[in-house]
């Protein structure tokens, strides 16, 4: 239990920073949706979808690679070697993007906006350069510093957005007349770039210790381990982002009455944000769990330990899904300020379910990371990406963005099941399959039933639904034999 409490403590710190940070950042959604048209928000959704793909290329699977070899061989030189590779990739990829800016914006339908490409080339370069320093903080257990820097970045980004768009939102009270309509949503990207620049300052001591190293004897095993993770990352981003990247191309004109395809993308992108609650749980868990799994790899009791970790995650994620779905109408009113955005709320339960399956998949990933079988991660993720591509290609013209939501859940389900069966072959772990599956199935069906068919509205709905949630939480604590008073004493 001590080891799990330690993991829970680390997860809590990462989780609080992630949840608080994303919650603060998420306050920008009602801010944006109150004055951006759906089409303008569609531009933000569209460009950040492509950024997600490129970020995989920039980091090249080297965070996990750094964890693996630094813990396995106890060799600190891997920080310098991996960081050197990252720097070269950032230089090359950003250079290519800048040179190709005009054809890129012409293809995306944003002709004359080459500056978007320039800004994003710098944003992604900085993100990649600080990725390994952040990984070093995680490996050293410096969760508090990690959390502080992340929160500072998010807070600064929010402040800059408020600063640049103040004149649009509250023109009579704007102290500075700085807003340029020709830049428009570009201020979102400028804010991101400036905030990212401060990463370099806040991680300056870690970066200052870096020395360029290029040891050829280590490169082969680094790339052998990392390359499958690149394909895994690309496939994972395909699963998450492809729907937003191709929706405006595959959606028939006039599919949603009164909305252009870019408007529909804006609606889908805004509603997708409500799945952030599941994403946060995954992110917090991954930050803490990845170094934890590697550090416990040689423990003879690690299979039982990993099983308990998995079950705890499944129970928590299933209850989280239930909590969000039963409060979806209220959340929609709070965060999606214009009614047009709330038309897409039905996608959220399926996106949350997909996120839950993805979290289980990441939990299962311990087997291929610890056995150096990262090629299987690529095979599994590519399978999911193929499902995502063809599913979106054929279902978007028929079901619109609901088709994308269905495909997201199904794709992650297939990846989860695939990884489970392969993992039991290479690194058997006694997972509580039946019990965990019951939590997921029962709570998903119950939450969707309450959301879709409850006759209650307004405050009465809020009170009754959350009373059900509290009863559910107490019943779960009883079933799982969790003693809250003992945990608090510790």
Whether residue 439 is contained in a domain is answered as yes
Question: E-strand spans in 333-389?
Answer: none
Tokens 């609901």: give the residue.
402
Whether residue 490 is contained in a domain is answered as no
Whether residue 134 is contained in a domain is answered as yes
Give the H/E segment covering residue 44.
helix 38-59
Asked whether the CA dihedral 52, 54, 56, 62 is positive or negative, the reply is: negative
Phi, psi at residue 416, to the nearest 5°?
-60, -50
Whether residue 487 is contained in a domain is answered as no
CA distance 43 to 186: 10
Provide DSSP, 278-335: HHHHHHHHHHHHHHHHHHTTT-TTHHHHHHHHHHHHHHHHHHHHHHHHHTHHHHHHHH
pTM higher than 0.75: no
Q: What is the pLDDT along the chain (490 residues), one digit of tens a residue?
A: 445 555 555 555 655 555 566 556 666 777 777 777 777 777 887 888 888 889 889 988 888 788 777 766 555 677 888 888 999 999 999 999 999 999 998 888 888 889 999 999 999 999 999 988 988 887 777 878 888 888 898 889 888 888 887 776 666 666 667 777 778 888 889 999 999 999 999 998 888 888 887 766 677 788 888 887 787 778 778 877 888 888 888 999 889 988 888 888 888 988 888 887 787 777 666 666 666 666 666 666 778 888 888 898 899 999 999 999 999 988 888 888 778 888 889 999 999 999 999 889 988 888 887 787 878 888 888 899 899 999 999 999 999 999 999 999 999 999 999 999 998 988 888 999 999 999 999 999 999 999 999 888 888 888 999 999 999 999 998 888 876 554 444 4
Provide DSSP, 87-118: HHHHHHHHHHHHHTHHHHHHHHT-TT-HHHHH
Closest CA to 420 of 345, 368, 477, 481: 368
CA distance 51 to 175: 33
Structure tokens at 200: 């370099």
CA distance 289 to 312: 13
Structure tokens at 166: 């103040």
Length of the chain: 490
Q: Are 164 and 179 in contact (CB under 8 A)?
A: yes
Note the helical H segments in 130-215.
131-139, 143-169, 186-202, 204-208
Burial code (b: 16+ CB inside 10 Å, e: under 16) for 276-296 equals bbbbbbbbbbbbbbbbbbbbb
Whether residue 171 is contained in a domain is answered as yes
Termini Cα distance of the chain: 11
Whether residue 341 is contained in a domain is answered as yes
Q: What is the predicted pLDDT for the residue at 489?
A: 45
Whether residue 485 is contained in a domain is answered as no
Tally the domains of the chain.
Answer: 1
> Domain containing 341: what range?
2-453
Whether residue 271 is contained in a domain is answered as yes
Q: Are 307 and 429 in contact (CB under 8 A)?
A: yes
């Amino acid at each position: 239990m001590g080891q799990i409490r330690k993991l829970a403590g680390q997860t809590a710190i990462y989780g609080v920073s992630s949840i608080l940070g994303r919650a603060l950042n998420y306050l920008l959604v009602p801010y944006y949706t109150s004055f951006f048209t759906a089409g303008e928000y569609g531009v933000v959704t569209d460009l950040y979808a492509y950024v997600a793909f490129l970020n995989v290329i920039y980091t090249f699977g080297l965070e996990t690679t750094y964890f693996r070899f630094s813990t396995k061989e106890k060799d600190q030189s891997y920080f310098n070697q991996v960081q050197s590779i990252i720097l070269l990739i950032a230089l090359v990829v950003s250079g290519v993007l800048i040179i190709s800016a005009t054809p890129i914006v012409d293809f995306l339908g944003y002709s004359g906006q080459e500056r978007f490409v320039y800004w994003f080339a710098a944003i992604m370069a900085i993100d990649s350069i600080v990725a390994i320093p952040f990984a070093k903080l995680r490996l050293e257990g410096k969760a508090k510093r990690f959390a502080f820097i992340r929160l500072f970045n998010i807070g600064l980004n929010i402040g800059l957005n408020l600063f640049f768009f103040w004149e649009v939102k509250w023109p009579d009270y704007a102290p500075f007349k700085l807003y340029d309509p020709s830049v428009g949503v570009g201020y979102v990207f400028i804010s991101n770039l400036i905030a990212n620049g401060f990463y370099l300052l806040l991680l300056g001591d870690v970066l200052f210790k870096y020395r360029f190293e290029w040891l050829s004897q280590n490169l082969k095993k680094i790339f052998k381990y990392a390359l499958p993770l690149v394909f895994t990352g690309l496939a994972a981003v395909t699963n998450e982002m492809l729907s937003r990247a191709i929706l405006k191309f595959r959606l028939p004109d006039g599919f949603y009455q009164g909305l252009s395809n870019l408007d529909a993308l804006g609606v889908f992108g805004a509603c997708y944000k409500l799945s952030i609650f599941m994403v946060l749980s995954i992110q917090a868990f991954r930050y803490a769990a990845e170094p934890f799994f590697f550090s416990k790899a040689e423990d003879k009791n690690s299979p039982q330990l990993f099983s308990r970790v998995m079950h705890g995650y499944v129970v928590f994620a299933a209850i989280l899904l239930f909590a969000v779905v039963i409060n979806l109408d209220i959340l929609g009113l709070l965060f999606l300020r214009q009614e047009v955005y709330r038309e897409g709320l039905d996608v959220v339960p399926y996106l949350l379910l997909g996120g839950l399956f993805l979290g289980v998949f990441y939990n299962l990933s311990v087997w291929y990371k610890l056995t150096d079988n990262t090629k299987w991660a690529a095979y599994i993720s590519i399978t999911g990406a193929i499902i995502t591509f063809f599913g979106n290609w054929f279902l978007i013209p028929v079901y619109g963005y609901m088709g994308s939501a269905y495909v997201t859940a199904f794709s992650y389900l297939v990846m989860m099941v695939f990884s489970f069966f392969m993992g039991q072959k290479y690194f058997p772990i006694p997972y509580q399959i039946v019990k965990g599956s019951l939590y997921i199935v029962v709570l998903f069906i119950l939450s969707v039933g309450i959301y879709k068919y409850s006759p209650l509205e307004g405050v009465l709905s809020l009170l009754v639904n959350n009373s059900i949630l509290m009863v559910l939480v107490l019943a779960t604590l009883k079933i799982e034999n969790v003693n809250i008073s003992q945990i608090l004493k510790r």
